[in-house]
């Protein structure tokens, strides 16, 4: 009940944000954070609920973005058709990559994801006839009726809410419980009749499809696509956002995206310092706070509230009468 109330208050605040930001930079920043919230939450399905580490999520982000942009620019298809096809193409590519990559384990699987990320970036940069190469893909239109920044904000907000609703419903279903069983112990899951390969593949395709959805929203908002938007550094940022907020939590990735964007805005003129801070954060999280920042922060808040309630509600002890 309390979590539902907090979610409703957060949604209300997000709905009211354009009243303050108007067409300015605050609304622009909020649009980007919502898109990256979809990305980080989709990666959390792999990292937090399936036990898979992927350093190729930005590649699927780019596949969705470029697919949608190419369909709009080269073929003139409407935004909603581009969006659906982008999700489908990204899911199919993830299926083709996921099936053979899951036959490897440990560090070898991570190497496969890194290799795919690098290959995808090279294809985006080198296929000039289709992607525009290093010049980028220009002239990607915003959807009809959503040309203004405020209108596009509400579109992205609606898609973000629906995407998170779909993720939460999936994670609370038998499929989600099976994914967590695979994460906790593949051997025990297999003994219970759960095929780890099938569920890993499903999670990989589902998460990648959501990344493609975010890519489509991103490219149509910027009206431009470039390989630098989807490179290895973006995958590392997403990994850090999930780790920072807390893997295996619903709101952790959203919190991680917010903190990283806040740091990026504060240090936007000091790129080297920002990268150094991100590296230190990543090492510190892995070594000292593997559960992320949000879970211990919430526990501290609950403890503080519990103390204050006892302080308010517990009557003072009556002094014992003297017997002397």
For residue 324, what pLDDT is reported?
A: 38
pLDDT at 72 over 50: yes
**Which CATH code of 3.30.450, 3.30.9, 1.10.3470, 1.10.1790 fits the domain covering 16-305?**
1.10.3470
Q: Where are the domains of the chain?
A: 16-305
pLDDT at 307 over 60: no
For residue 318, what pLDDT is reported?
A: 41
How do residues 25-37 score in pLDDT, each as one tens digit? 999 999 999 999 9
pLDDT at 99 over 90: no
Structure tokens at 29: 């920043």
Cβ-Cβ contacts under 8 Å for 274 (sequence gap 6 or more): 263, 264, 267, 268
For residue 2, what pLDDT is reported?
A: 65
Residue 224 dihedral angles phi and psi, to the nearest 5°? -170, 145
Cβ-Cβ contacts under 8 Å for 86 (sequence gap 6 or more): 63, 64, 65, 67, 68, 71, 212, 213, 215, 216
User: Averaged over 48-67, what is the pLDDT?
Assistant: 94
- Alpha carbon distances (Å) from 200 to 49, 106, 214: 10, 14, 21
Cβ-Cβ contacts under 8 Å for 81 (sequence gap 6 or more): 71
pLDDT at 316 over 60: no
d(CA 302, CA 104): 42
136 by DSSP, 3-state: which?
A: coil
Contact between residue 141 and residue 220 where contact means Cβ atoms under 8 Å apart: yes
How do residues 132-185 score in pLDDT, each as one tens digit? 888 999 999 999 999 999 999 999 999 999 999 999 999 999 999 999 999 999
């Amino acid at each position: 009940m309390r979590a539902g109330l907090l979610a409703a208050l957060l949604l209300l605040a997000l709905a009211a944000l354009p009243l303050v930001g108007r067409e300015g930079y605050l609304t622009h920043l909020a649009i980007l954070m919502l898109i990256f919230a979809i990305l980080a939450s989709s990666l959390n399905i792999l990292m937090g609920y399936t036990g898979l580490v992927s350093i190729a999520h930005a590649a699927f982000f780019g596949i969705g973005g470029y697919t949608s942009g190419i369909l709009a620019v080269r073929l003139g298809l409407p935004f909603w058709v581009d969006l659906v096809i982008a999700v489908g193409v990204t899911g199919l590519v993830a299926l083709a990559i996921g099936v053979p990559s899951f036959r490897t384990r440990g560090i070898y699987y991570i190497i496969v994801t890194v290799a795919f990320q690098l290959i995808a970036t090279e294809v985006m940069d080198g296929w000039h006839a289709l992607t525009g190469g290093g010049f980028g893909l220009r002239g990607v239109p915003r959807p009809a009726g959503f040309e203004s920044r405020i209108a596009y904000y509400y579109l992205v907000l609606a898609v973000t809410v629906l995407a998170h609703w779909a993720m939460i419903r999936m994670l609370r279903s038998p499929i989600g419980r099976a994914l967590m069983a695979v994460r906790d112990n593949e051997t025990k899951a297999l003994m219970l009749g759960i095929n780890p390969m099938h569920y890993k593949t499903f999670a990989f395709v589902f998460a990648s499809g959501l990344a493609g959805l975010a890519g489509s929203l991103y490219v149509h908002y910027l009206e431009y696509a470039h390989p630098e938007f989807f490179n290895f550094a973006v995958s590392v940022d997403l990994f850090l956002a999930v780790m920072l907020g807390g893997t295996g939590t619903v709101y952790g990735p959203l919190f991680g995206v917010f903190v990283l964007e806040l740091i990026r805005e504060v240090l936007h003129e000091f790129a080297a310092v920002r990268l150094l801070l991100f590296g230190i954060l990543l090492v510190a999280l892995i070594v000292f706070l593997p559960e992320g920042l949000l879970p211990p922060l919430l526990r501290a808040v609950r403890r503080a509230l519990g103390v204050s309630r006892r302080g308010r509600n517990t009557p003072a002890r009556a002094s014992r009468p003297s017997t002397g």
